[in-house]
A = this chain, B = another copy of it.
C-alpha cells in the first residue's frame, strides 16, 4: 500500500499532528461531496422515494458488508445501526437467551464503561439473578468456567491499548459452554480481526474511530451465521421485522442479520461512512497493521528516550496491543492540553493516561517524530505547568 497516497485522501488541518483517530477519525476529503449529493440529489430531489431509488433502505447491510471484510466476517453477517451502546445491549440480551440456565457475565475492568453500564441496565431489567463479574484483564482466562453464560470483552483496551487474544479466549469460553461477545471499537480498522476464524458468536463495533465515518456515525453488529436465525432480538424494531411494510401487528423476526436492525437508519451519517469505506475498500488491513506496529514502536522508543518522566501504560510487545500507545503521568491532563495547544492532538483518560492513536492511512513517521519533539519540549520545559492547561473544562 502507498500510505502517502491514502494520507492525501484525508483532510488534516494545517499545523496539526492528529494522534486521536482512535477516538474520532479525520474527514475523508470525499465525504463532503458524498454527503452533499445525498442531501441535494437524494433527499432534496427524491424525497420519500429515496428509500428505494437511492437504495437508502439497503445501505445498513451493504455498508456493513464492506466493514465485514476488515473483521473477518462473511457477507450477510453484519449490519449497521444505532450506537455501540445499543448494539452491546442487543448482543448481550440475545446471548443470554442462548444460555438460559447460566447467570454469569464475565468482563474485565479494562472494558469501556458503557459496555458495563449497558450490561448492568439489562441485568436489572431482566431481574433473573444475572451477575456481571469484572476481573483484571490478565485474569480473564482464569475465570472462564462452566458457570459462565457470556464472556463479553472489548478486544483492545480503550485506555491502555492492551489487546486480548481473541482466538484463545473464544475457544476457552466455548470449551466451557459460554457464548462470546467481542467489542471491536478499537479493533475495526486498527488491526486484522478474524471473527469467523475465531468462531466468535457476536461482535459489535463503531465506525467513527478508525473507520472515519464522522461524529456519531452508526455502530455495527455481527452475529455468527449459526445464531442469526435463532436469536430473539430484544430490541425488536420494525426494520428487523420479516416484512416491515406489511405493518403486521405481530412481530416476526426477519431472516438472519436483518433482525438486528431496529429503526430508521441515519442516511447522512451513512453517506459519510460510504466515503470512508471507499478508502478502506482499497486498503490491506495486514499492511495497515504492519505499518501501525512500526509507528507505535518508533513512538515508544523516541518518547522513552526523550521523556523519562512518562511511564509506558501499553504492552511493550506489539502483538499484545492495538494501534494506540498510552503513557501514565500524574499531570497527564495538563500535558495533553499543552500538546493540543501546540497542534499535537491526542487525548486524556482519567486518572492519568495520555493516549495517542496511530493510524497509518494518514499518520506517518514524520508525524511521529514531530509529535515526540513537541512532547519532549513540553516535558523538558515544564510548559504544561500553567493554570490554563490544568483547568478541566473539557468534556472529552
A: residues with CB less than 8 A from B are 11, 13, 16, 18, 20, 23-24, 26-27, 31-32, 35-36, 39-40, 42-45, 47-52, 56-57, 82-86, 89, 93, 109, 112-114, 116-118, 120-122, 124-128, 134, 159, 206, 208, 214-219, 232-238, 241, 244-251, 262-270, 272, 340, 345, 347, 349-350, 393-396
Are A39 and B48 neighbours in the complex by a CB distance under 8 Å? no
Partner of A214, one of B27, B215, B267, B340: B267
Q: Nearest-CB distance from A120 to chain B (Å)?
A: 5
Are A52 and B394 neighbours in the complex by a CB distance under 8 Å? yes
- With a 10 A CB-CB cut-off, give which of A11, A244, A251, A265 has the most chain B CB atoms: A251
Are A396 and B57 neighbours in the complex by a CB distance under 8 Å? yes
Q: Nearest-CB distance from A329 to chain B (Å)?
A: 17
Closest to A89 in B: B235
Are B340 and A49 neighbours in the complex by a CB distance under 8 Å? yes
24 contacts between A and B (CB under 8 A): A11-B40, A20-B48, A24-B48, A48-B345, A56-B215, A82-B82, A83-B237, A83-B262, A86-B86, A86-B263, A89-B235, A113-B247, A113-B251, A116-B249, A118-B236, A120-B236, A121-B234, A121-B251, A134-B249, A215-B266, A216-B264, A216-B265, A216-B270, A218-B266
What chain B residues lie within 8 Å of A266 (beta carbons)? 215-218, 266, 268-269
Are A262 and B85 neighbours in the complex by a CB distance under 8 Å? yes
Closest to A107 in B: B249
What 4 additional pairs, Cβ within 8 angstroms, besides A18-B47, A215-B264, A246-B350? A27-B40, A121-B236, A159-B247, A216-B268
Question: Given A35-B39, A48-B24, A235 and B113 touching (CB < 8 A)?
Answer: no
What chain B residues lie within 8 Å of A269 (beta carbons)? 216, 266, 268-269
Question: Given A85-B237, A235-B89, A23 and B44 touching (CB < 8 A)?
Answer: no
What chain B residues lie within 8 Å of A249 (beta carbons)? 109, 113, 116, 134
Question: Given A44-B13, A269-B266, A272-B39, A395 and B236 touching (CB < 8 A)?
Answer: no
Are A82 and B263 neighbours in the complex by a CB distance under 8 Å? yes
Partner of A31, one of B39, B206, B215, B349: B39
What chain B residues lie within 8 Å of A394 (beta carbons)? 52
Q: Nearest-CB distance from A84 to chain B (Å)?
A: 6
Closest to A45 in B: B13
Partner of A120, one of B45, B251, B349: B251
Are A24 and B39 neighbours in the complex by a CB distance under 8 Å? no
What chain B residues lie within 8 Å of A50 (beta carbons)? 24, 215
Partner of A267, one of B216, B248, B270: B216
What chain B residues lie within 8 Å of A395 (beta carbons)? 51-52, 57, 244-245
Are A350 and B215 neighbours in the complex by a CB distance under 8 Å? no
Q: Nearest-CB distance from A395 to chain B (Å)?
A: 5
Are B23 and A48 neighbours in the complex by a CB distance under 8 Å? yes
Are B117 and A238 neighbours in the complex by a CB distance under 8 Å? yes
What chain B residues lie within 8 Å of A16 (beta carbons)? 47
Are A47 and B13 neighbours in the complex by a CB distance under 8 Å? yes
What are the nearest 3 A-B pairs in CB distance?
Answer: A83-B263, A121-B236, A114-B238
Are A47 and B35 neighbours in the complex by a CB distance under 8 Å? no
